[in-house]
Amino acid sequence: MVHHQLELNTITFGAALSACEKAGEWEKAFQLSATMERNNLELGLTIFNTTISACEKGGEWQKALQLFRAMLRRQVESDMITCSAAISACEKAGKWHEALHLFTGMAGSMVEKGTICFNAAISACEKGSQWDSALHLLNIMRESVVRSATITFNAAISACEKSGEWENALQLSSVMTCQKITANTVTFNAAISACEKSLKWE
């Protein structure tokens, strides 16, 4: 009977956390997870994922990393959702170094690096004008046979554009055509801007 009550409470908290996550209410989500801990309720993978995602949506990258590290201490196995949310939280805050550190750390785990994880990491490189790291991640995607998308290439092209790497920007545009990945306005604008900046520099 006691076990059933605990299970019910965990389910109730999980539902409340999910509502907070969808609404971007990271503070309430964080408080709920802390309440669960005080009441000796299990903080499992789903609870951590939901709370980290709430922090990511709320722009609280430090809280997201705090929760991620708490998972490691508790030996709770992370998954692609965990890593994607944590990397995305860093990416949105422009913390490219932290995002790449998280991404690199996935190599030592059993977590599969999917398109979402790569996209978040490459976008972080774009925000930090780290064009070489963005291209390196694209190569890893290809070698890992992970499907890239328009958003993937757009971030990499923008990273090259910000760094004045117009040749690499154009080359990536050509690769998109070869791989039959649809280019959009963002793609063309970034490529054109890269060429424009190179002409001004010359």
Asked whether the predicted pLDDT for residue 6 surpasses 50, the reply is no
Asked whether the predicted pLDDT for residue 84 surpasses 60, the reply is yes
Joined tokens for residue 7: 């299970």
How many Cβ atoms sit within 10 Å of the Cβ of residue 73? 7
The overall average pLDDT reported for the chain is 86
pTM of the model: 0.80
Q: How far apart are CA 140 and CA 159, in angstroms?
A: 17
Q: Which of 35-49, 81-95, 110-124 has the highest mean pLDDT?
A: 81-95
Joined tokens for residue 92: 């949105």
- What's the whole-number mean pLDDT along residues 121-138? 93
Largest CA distance in the chain: 77
